[in-house]
Chains A and B, each alone.
Chain A
């Protein structure tokens, strides 16, 4: 149930005959579902190193090769070796015939090089992929998405695996038009033999301890449920006043509830003491708790300003600073930002400042944490169907839902799936990134 009446109406045959375009019902992940519900086409331009491992990954996952004809569930193009405008033309020639073959909720995933500052043409071509992928996203229909992975010469093909899986699968339903850099894994190189058994495919977070703030409802509750579904043990935090809802979430997923206000001066110490005592470490930290106190800047009060900055930014900084040794050596920190923090939003100077601040914090901390093997990323949700958005005036809500490539709002689980991907121990190559979960919103694209 999304409460999206228009989307439901457009599924009706008669309505579609009237020429109303169908609002797609997105494919979403269910445990045990196949990676793709159809064959895939994997292409490579020049000496790309990633196509072969990706083909192997798909074969292992039971995905057939699409060949030259028929519908395709996903197109992957390894363009990581493309450096010239002529080679870029090859990208167009490969992609063009695939566009009409793409089935509903299909996937286009491009792999491009990092811009090379020493070679203006290569740098220009690398940057060209941004425009290309975002335009593909806007051309695709029926719930299909297009995303871009940017690699460097040091990117280990294995480091790409979790991202390839995520962007091809139904887990990335509402992630569209995104550009993600995948570098060499952070921290010391781990000897695969010493690393122990890899997590089982259906429980990629098995054995991991996750902390989720603001977990009593909305996106936070979905994050807690999704991380637990993927095998994590979850410590769910929310304010004491939300304790009953929090207890329900915790009991349903076999996790624990920790009632505290993250803005309390002793909150960081209490969180760390709790993690040390109960688990001895933390592997995943999700800073999700957030509030809005909207007012035009002309009417803004210090109270409203400070309350938003305290919850959305100051608490995240304070907790990150306190985590220290309790962070495990494959820890993943994910901070929930917002598209408002990227695009700005009327009436949300305080909120947008706090969320842009989160992005700044992530970029500053990523290089500091990398030597320890820890990544930190931001996830920026767009319009997500929650209690918060259900309370918006109808017109604003309807506009918010439609102004994106998928022409609908996302679900809390869409944000949660994105966080679960960033939380994986084997996803050490993605850090300092801002991933939007916005259906490729037109705002601040």
Chain B
């Protein structure tokens, strides 16, 4: 182990994100991740090149996706001698891979690495129902015909019903949207502000595409060259017509605010980020867009405690800022993952709230409001969609490019909420 240095973000590549059962309905996680890696290799001349490592992952994985990332490397144009491993931290997976690779670079264990994530809601694993699985395992272990017949005798019609993956928390049985609806209600997030945030996301993303911002961040896949969720012409009026879909049961049903327009749809896609030491980048004449300065994870007890499922970043961010001696005034870009518009707004409200700051964050003063013109300036998940593990890579590469445009020393933070009551935040500095 040698001295600690800052890992450079060299660039990124993702495939356009597609609404589930759309353009990528037939594509697997492996197909998408391989395509994203190949696009990255082409952008940075990495065909045949051995990279220090590739860290990747998917939230929804088939059993055949064991060592998904390594398989993607083998199918890509990267050198087959590039090691790879899978990571899983729900929607935090993508950003967590960035942190892992950056840390290894910082410690001098590797000179370069790729952080990656992929998810398919279309090709989601459908598991055997647990009872049937037990019968089949027994059958597999049977040594003779008699035992086999005995095992098969355990078959029941009800076992044929497969286990569909659910977007629900195992410990509460509530979907993520239902959890978010509770938080939205708690923080008094209005329908209007959610719809406004959604419209801003779409407009910002469309404008960024139009000015060519994504020319070197996205490579088309299966006929798609822009995110299929993007609605450049959406408006608050149009969104106001939609019916709420979450928080629509129980005593607060009348106060439901979350619609399909201000919630992220299920999406397919993959994203990658190329990281390296400054020396490695210079040797290969590759650009350094930004440096990874620091990162922080947090988790909340949403099962028994008072915190919302998606509120962990609220706790992670102040730690990150304090450790780096920064306040919101020092930050040029805020990239807050839009799982739901209400999640972003509740997070901002928590950071503005003096009582919450004192009681829950242990701060004398709240972090304060942020300048909204610095928030998700090229759109975020409401417009791009959110293939769970791919979001961290999408945001990291986007922010790095924004910081590079802004200039050396500029600063940006990323905040990503995740299932299981977790959150990952990171600080990048422009180069």
Contacts and interface: CB of A to CB of B under 8 A. Distances in A.
Nearest to A249: B42
A243 to B, nearest CB: 4
B225 A243 contact: yes
Interface in A66-81: none
A241 to B, nearest CB: 4
Contacts of A279: 285
A278 B38 contact: no
Contacts of A252: 47, 77
A306 B287 CA distance: 35
A240 B215 contact: yes
A248 B286 contact: no
Interface in B204-243: 212, 214-216, 218-221, 225
B220 A251 contact: no
Contacts of A246: 42
B8 to A, nearest CB: 14
Contacts of B117: none
Contacts of A376: none
Interface string A268-301: 0000000001111000000000000000000000
Contact of B77 (A243, A251, A278): A251
A243 B45 contact: no
B280 to A, nearest CB: 14
A415 B291 CA distance: 44
A256 B43 contact: yes
Interface centre among A243, A252, A260, A280 (most CB of B within 10 A): A243
B287 A257 contact: no
Interface centre among B216, B221, B286, B287 (most CB of A within 10 A): B216
Interface in B45-79: 45, 47-48, 77
Interface in B281-328: 285-287
Contacts of B44: 256
Interface residues of A, number: 25
Contacts of B287: 277
A54 interface: no
A254 B48 contact: yes
A203 interface: no
Contacts of A248: 38, 42
B395 interface: no
A259 B215 contact: yes
Contacts of B214: 240
Contact of A257 (B35, B42, B218, B225): B42
B95 interface: no
B225 A250 contact: no
A280 B284 CA distance: 12
Contacts of A244: 35, 39, 219-221
Contacts of B39: 243-244, 247, 257
Contact of B218 (A240, A256, A260, A277): A240
A254 B216 contact: no
Nearest to B39: A247
B286 A278 contact: yes
A264 interface: yes
Contacts of A255: 42, 45, 47
B219 A259 contact: yes
Interface string B21-55: 00000000000000100110111110110000000
A248 to B, nearest CB: 7
A251 B41 contact: yes
B219 A251 contact: no
A242 interface: yes
A288 B168 CA distance: 53
A244 B212 CA distance: 17
Contact of A241 (B43, B212, B220): B220
B38 A240 contact: no
A278 B216 CA distance: 14
A251 B221 CA distance: 16
Given A240-B212, A240-B220, A250-B47, 13 more contacts: A241-B220, A243-B220, A244-B35, A247-B41, A250-B42, A251-B47, A252-B47, A252-B77, A256-B45, A257-B219, A261-B212, A264-B212, A278-B286
21 contacts: A240-B212, A240-B214, A240-B215, A244-B220, A244-B221, A247-B39, A247-B41, A247-B219, A250-B42, A250-B47, A251-B47, A252-B47, A254-B48, A255-B45, A256-B42, A256-B43, A257-B43, A258-B43, A258-B216, A259-B219, A279-B285
Interface of B: 35, 38-39, 41-45, 47-48, 77, 212, 214-216, 218-221, 225, 285-287
The 5 closest A-B pairs by CB, nearest first: A247-B42, A257-B42, A251-B77, A250-B42, A251-B47
